[in-house]
Amino acid sequence: MAASLIHADGVHILLELSGHTDHNRLPVFACKPAPAQTTWLGYLATTGVPAIDYLIADTLTLPPGAEAWFTEKIWRLPDTYLCFTPPDVDTGVSRLPALEQVHITFRSLNYLTKVTDEVVAVWARVLTEIPDSWLLLKARPLIEHSVQLDIARRFAAHGIERDRLELIGSVPSRREHLATCQRVDIALDPFPYQGITTSA
């Protein structure tokens, strides 16, 4: 029904903003209700939907030469394809926590679905290679004790003790989110699907 309404309204360009994330509308785009369809912002990988004509990116997030992995034609913006409102608080740039502590703190603030068993294995290896380092994970599901236990179990399978993990659920404000970033030395990105907004 949505595709029929879009077509009836005579929309010329239809913009998709979520890719393969929850509650996406890719099936509407697959019906090709508009003559030009593009995807942008919420998902950097290809949608794999032949009816989506273009993907908006930039040279940093999608380097030249990667076009072969996309069903869409790539449109690169000159600087960045991301956009953010400036923080309404000034958290400043902090000193590296490792300069004042006896350990290096790694972190990831990505969705836990991106923290696959392969990612856990690599991050555990990093922690093993750097004695006394910690890993801070922040994600909304970590407010649940059962989710924390599962993460701890997955790292323990690679020899990483629970006390080397700091697991944080959601925080109430952007100020506290940015303050969490100040508590880490090195950010880790998941793979094969990396962070986008979270990492930036």
**Rounded to an integer, what distance in angstroms lies between the CA atom of residue 82 and that of residue 104?**
29
Structure token digits, residue 195: 């962070």
| pLDDT greater than 80 at residue 199 | no
| pLDDT for position 52 | 97
Select 2-77's CATH number: 3.60.15.10, 3.90.1150.220, 3.65.10.10, 3.40.50.11380.
Answer: 3.40.50.11380
Report in angstroms the alpha-carbon separations of 171 from 95, 175, 187: 22, 9, 18
**Rounded to an integer, what distance in angstroms lies between the CA atom of residue 62 and that of residue 59?**
5
Which of 94, 98, 182 has its CA nearest to residue 138? 182
- Domain spans in the chain, listed from the N-terminal domain onward: 2-77, 97-187
**Rounded to an integer, what distance in angstroms lies between the CA atom of residue 73 and that of residue 56?**
9
Cβ-contact 52, 16 below 8 angstroms: yes
Structure token digits, residue 36: 């030009």
CATH second-level architecture of 97-187? 3-Layer(aba) Sandwich (3.40)
Structure token digits, residue 59: 């040279």
| pLDDT greater than 80 at residue 86 | no
The pTM score is 0.76
| pLDDT for position 73 | 96
